[in-house]
Structure 1
Amino acid sequence: MQPLDDARRAQAPCSIVVLTYNRAATVLETLGKLVALEEPWPIVVVDNGSTDGTADQIAARFPDVAIVRAPRNYGAAGRNFGVASIDTPYVAFCDDDTAWLPGSVGRAVDVLQRYPSVGVVAAHVVVGPTRRDDTACEPMATSTLPSDGLPGPALLGFMAGACVARTRAFTEAGGYRRDLFIGGEESVLALDLVDAGWRIVYCREVVTHHNPSPVRDVKQRRALLARNEMLSAWLRLPLDLAWRVTGRAIRAMAEQGVLAEALPAALVRLPRALLRRHTVQPTTVALWRQMDADRQRRRAIPTLSIG
């Protein structure tokens, strides 16, 4: 395969930003898939202070890939450095274990160009060698939020490593917060985007493949998700909803066996969250209530087991 020439890259309307931390083998495999797309998307990898030689291995294997070397692990906020380094109007995000399927970034760019109110295109995610649908796809596809005039269901969230954003919208909303680190880090950003008038839309034709890395701590991930659900509520939601989410988060921590880790971590960060608290507008709160009601209805539907 011939490398893409600089002129085609300079004309590309979208860049791909990949976030990685201490997963050299995984990110090298992902980059192999991305450069094989034969589409003119400039690729930027943000190395979140890896200690396994990730950045040097990328530079040796993929000299055309730009590398942003963060001095330490900033979690999801590392993506902000990647966005700051690009000059394209759109940005497609990848984790180090997700890769866009051919044509998908182009389809997302087309949506963003044709619908100026759309700030984020949320992708359809397929998982593993069988490419089964991610469990998050069905709730996105069946969202009941008002979607008149949009090319797909409207959302109040997205998956950080499986979306294409309007660079201006991302930057003006402030990107990802360092204090949430990682795990449900999209919640506050999604609320801020919608509160500023941007729309988030799910497009099934925009597809990314998630091949979960074996280098992951599932228990830690659950603790971070529960902690950040609680903190995000206090950062942006009115008091009644913040207390409601807090109760749910604590119950989830207990059920998942992460209460001892997650609750102290949330409480120690709560004073700072309260100092930076900014409640979203009533229209955005109404959308959150509708989204939450949909989520509770789905959980209430009994499932049938076979066997």
Structure 2
Amino acid sequence: MTDATTLPETAPAEPVAVPDAARADGPPRAGRSAAADPRAGAAPAAGGRAATDVTVVIATRGRAARLDATLTALRDASPGVAVIVCDDASADDETARVARRHDGVTLVRLRHNAGAAARNAGAREARTPLVAFCDDDSWFLPGALDRAAEHFAADPRLALLNGRILVGDDQRLDPVCDLMARSPLGRAPAGPEILGFLACAAVVRRDAFLAVGGFPRRYGIGGEEAPVAIDLAAAGWRGAYAADVLARHLPDAARHPGPRRARTTRNDLWTTWRRRPVGTALRATVGVARQARRDEHVRDGLRQAVAGLPWALATRRAPSAALESRLRDLDAQNAARSPAGLPPLPPHELRAGRPVRPGERTTVVIAARNGWHQLERTLAELAALPERPPVIVVDDASQDGTAAHVQAAHPDVTVVRLRERRGPVARNAGVRLARTPYVAFADADSWWAPGTLDAAADLFDAHPELGLVTARILVGEDGRVDPISDEMAASPLPWDPELPGHPLVSFMGGASAVRRRAFVDVGGFEERLVVGGEEELVGTELVTAGWAMRYVPELVVHHHPEGERRGEVRALGLRNALWFLWRRRPWPTALSWSAHLVRASGPRTETARGVALALRGLPWALATRRRPAPWTERGMHAIERQRRGSRARDYGAYPEVPAVLD
């Protein structure tokens, strides 16, 4: 649907009759339900509902060619379905002419531009119990509306269903759908519960939608779905994301993102002011004000929102405590995502290896510093794997010629030579360059066992919610099990029989494989940490963002360490552990664990050094402090007793446990 300005609340709608044959084939006049109270219950129709019980509503403005293509695709996918086109005050008659060329289409012409609220007119005109919304550049695929109708018939409390949207010619999954699939709100029979949706591919229970007022006319376009979803939930209905209800979306790349960002900023603020507690609304306003200093479009949106503040306050209705708790869960999930993705590549030199072959699923990324004597064996072991994976070595500003050695001995390996030391977080550079859906991390002294990479990829393929897997670590020539593997196998976290392995909230960087999209989604490793416990924050963010992490002992990594961990690394590890506590844990827990870690580290020079470094970074830690989601905090709390007795995580005891991966 094209962009539109907002209008007064009284903008009239004018039903316009197209030829009689089209009206006869239009929306059936079958009965409307008089009640819209889900708590009263409703008997599902015998045998379920077919797609003919759904009316598709398309709002459009001045894009007749797009509309024509969408109606053709919709007719091919769902023949016989009722369609209502809402002409949102187009400047010419092309939209009406296109509607008349398609059988079974009813045209509703609005005299004034109503933005997204034009869909309300179509919903009022519909005579079916369900209404499916499309834009003029999106449509439901064959069988999708039948499946949607079946979901509604099976769940009388369901009022909102969002389909799985495939975007563009390459049919990539819409990132919002990816987020919905990992919703922390629990599951409805149709799929994960949601408190938001995308109106380009959504189905609603008509009477429930109209009872809450539909889309707010004042919003225009951009974020107009949020108040509808919140109001439906407040009325006792629920929404769900259904991955089996497929839709296509071919958005116009020529649209102007700046003005849309301004409208979305305004509408998001209005929704917060109208439907969230005062404290939440104030924090959101302060956050937008900070963004407005750097972004003129956000600044424009803030000005528009302030201009509408009297209206927002006049229509304010705070949600119940239970609903607000669910909204906070979604806030936590969104906060764990990094809008910028991975940090940019630092100054570097790149020597590309072989290109990724079709069908390859996993790239191995190794961060190494002054470790050619160890790395040589690791690369040989990886080259001998049956998977023959693409390998990226990130040379962390080595001084022993590591990059040159790799280039000479392994021309198929991509080598990135960083000019400044980054530590294990240098893996970010490798992930950024990877071109496979999954990435496996290794260290200079560790490698994956034959067949393990394919097995890990199979797990990712089979479980879309799986973000990371950690392998069992076998240490040295005798292959003894690393103590950290035993600890992970004894995870006290709740077991999910639908997922493989043991649940985790942290992982071992040198023995883990990640879904690249998930790793990028949370921003990768925090670059300020450099080395020592850098996995803790990534693990917390992945779990908070809704990704599952699992220890899978059937996967195997070999680790052949040399020597003991240096004191400086122990100091940085202690510093990073303290920073993590101060940034992500409740203060009572953060203070208790801080004291425990310092005591466990013992009266060492490294302990004093680590504490001093942590205190030096305290202002940054406090400025970036954010409580994790409740389910993440519950997971961390559940493993606290196990960790208090763990030698593998004792910063003062690393020399006694050389099996821990660096």
Give the alignment's TM-score, normalised by structure 1: 0.91
User: Which structure's relative contact order is higher, taking Cα pairs within 8 Å and 6+ residues apart?
Assistant: 1
Shift of 1:85: 0.3
Q: Which runs of 4+ in 1 moved over 6 A?
A: none
Deviations 1:211-233 (A, max 9, x none): 0034x543333222222111111
Q: What SS does the aligned partner of 1:40 have?
A: coil
Q: Name 2:571's counterpart in structure 1.
A: 223
**1:100 & 1:273 partners in 2: Cα distance?**
35
Q: Name 2:447's counterpart in structure 1.
A: 99
Kept after mapping to 1: 8 A contact 2:455/2:555: yes
Q: What SS does the aligned partner of 2:639 have?
A: helix
**2:443 & 2:467 partners in 1: Cα distance?**
20
Amino acid at match of 2:394: V
Shift of 1:7: 8.2
Q: 1:234 aligns with which of 582, 591, 594?
A: 582
Equivalent residues in 2 for 1:1-307 (5 A)?
9-148=357-496, 149-214=498-563, 217-255=565-603, 258-296=606-644
Q: What SS does the aligned partner of 1:116 have?
A: coil
- Relative to structure 1, the CA distance from residue 66 to residue 238 in structure 2 (aligned partners, 3 Å threshold; closer, same or farther) is same
Deviations 1:14-70 (A, max 9, x none): 100011011111111211111111323110001111111100100000000001111
Shift of 1:140: 0.6
Report which stretch shifted further, 230-239 or 217-226: 217-226
Kept after mapping to 2: 8 A contact 1:253/1:263: no
Q: What SS does the aligned partner of 2:602 have?
A: helix
**1:71 & 1:298 partners in 2: Cα distance?**
37
Amino acid at match of 1:231: W
Q: What SS does the aligned partner of 1:183 have?
A: coil
**1:259 & 1:287 partners in 2: Cα distance?**
28
**2:429 & 2:646 partners in 1: Cα distance?**
37
Kept after mapping to 2: 8 A contact 1:125/1:209: yes
**2:531 & 2:503 partners in 1: Cα distance?**
24
Report which stretch shifted further, 218-227 or 265-274: 218-227
Q: What SS does the aligned partner of 1:68 have?
A: strand
Give unmatched runs, 5+ long, in structure 1.
1-5, 300-307
Q: What SS does the aligned partner of 1:136 have?
A: helix
Shift of 1:294: 3.1
Shift of 1:271: 1.6
**2:565 & 2:356 partners in 1: Cα distance?**
40
Kept after mapping to 2: 8 A contact 1:126/1:208: yes
Kept after mapping to 1: 8 A contact 2:356/2:435: no
Amino acid at match of 1:35: A
Q: Name 1:305's counterpart in structure 2.
A: none
Kept after mapping to 1: 8 A contact 2:387/2:453: no
Kept after mapping to 1: 8 A contact 2:471/2:511: yes
Amino acid at match of 1:152: G
Q: What SS does the aligned partner of 1:208 have?
A: strand
Amino acid at match of 2:523: G
**1:189 & 1:256 partners in 2: Cα distance?**
28
Q: Percent identity?
A: 37
- Relative to structure 1, the CA distance from residue 8 to residue 76 in structure 2 (aligned partners, 3 Å threshold; closer, same or farther) is closer
- RMSD of the TM alignment (CA)? 1.8
- Relative to structure 1, the CA distance from residue 68 to residue 7 in structure 2 (aligned partners, 3 Å threshold; closer, same or farther) is closer
Amino acid at match of 2:502: P
**2:604 & 2:548 partners in 1: Cα distance?**
33
Deviations 1:77-117 (A, max 9, x none): 21000000011100000011111110111111111111111
Kept after mapping to 2: 8 A contact 1:173/1:192: yes
**1:298 & 1:32 partners in 2: Cα distance?**
34
**1:122 & 1:147 partners in 2: Cα distance?**
16
Report which stretch shifted further, 100-109 or 220-229: 220-229
Deviations 1:229-281 (A, max 9, x none): 11111121121111122111211232555222211111112221111111101
Report which stretch shifted further, 253-262 or 233-242: 253-262
Kept after mapping to 2: 8 A contact 1:16/1:93: yes
Report which stretch shifted further, 48-57 or 233-242: 233-242
Amino acid at match of 2:629: Q
Kept after mapping to 1: 8 A contact 2:474/2:557: yes
**2:380 & 2:389 partners in 1: Cα distance?**
14
**1:245 & 1:269 partners in 2: Cα distance?**
18
**1:255 & 1:136 partners in 2: Cα distance?**
25
- Relative to structure 1, the CA distance from residue 124 to residue 256 in structure 2 (aligned partners, 3 Å threshold; closer, same or farther) is farther
**2:425 & 2:607 partners in 1: Cα distance?**
25
Shift of 1:120: 0.3
Kept after mapping to 2: 8 A contact 1:20/1:47: yes
Report which stretch shifted further, 125-134 or 285-294: 285-294
Give the alignment's TM-score, normalised by structure 2: 0.43
Q: What SS does the aligned partner of 2:427 have?
A: helix
**1:179 & 1:205 partners in 2: Cα distance?**
34
**2:423 & 2:364 partners in 1: Cα distance?**
18
Give unmatched runs, 5+ long, in structure 2.
1-353, 648-662
**1:17 & 1:194 partners in 2: Cα distance?**
22
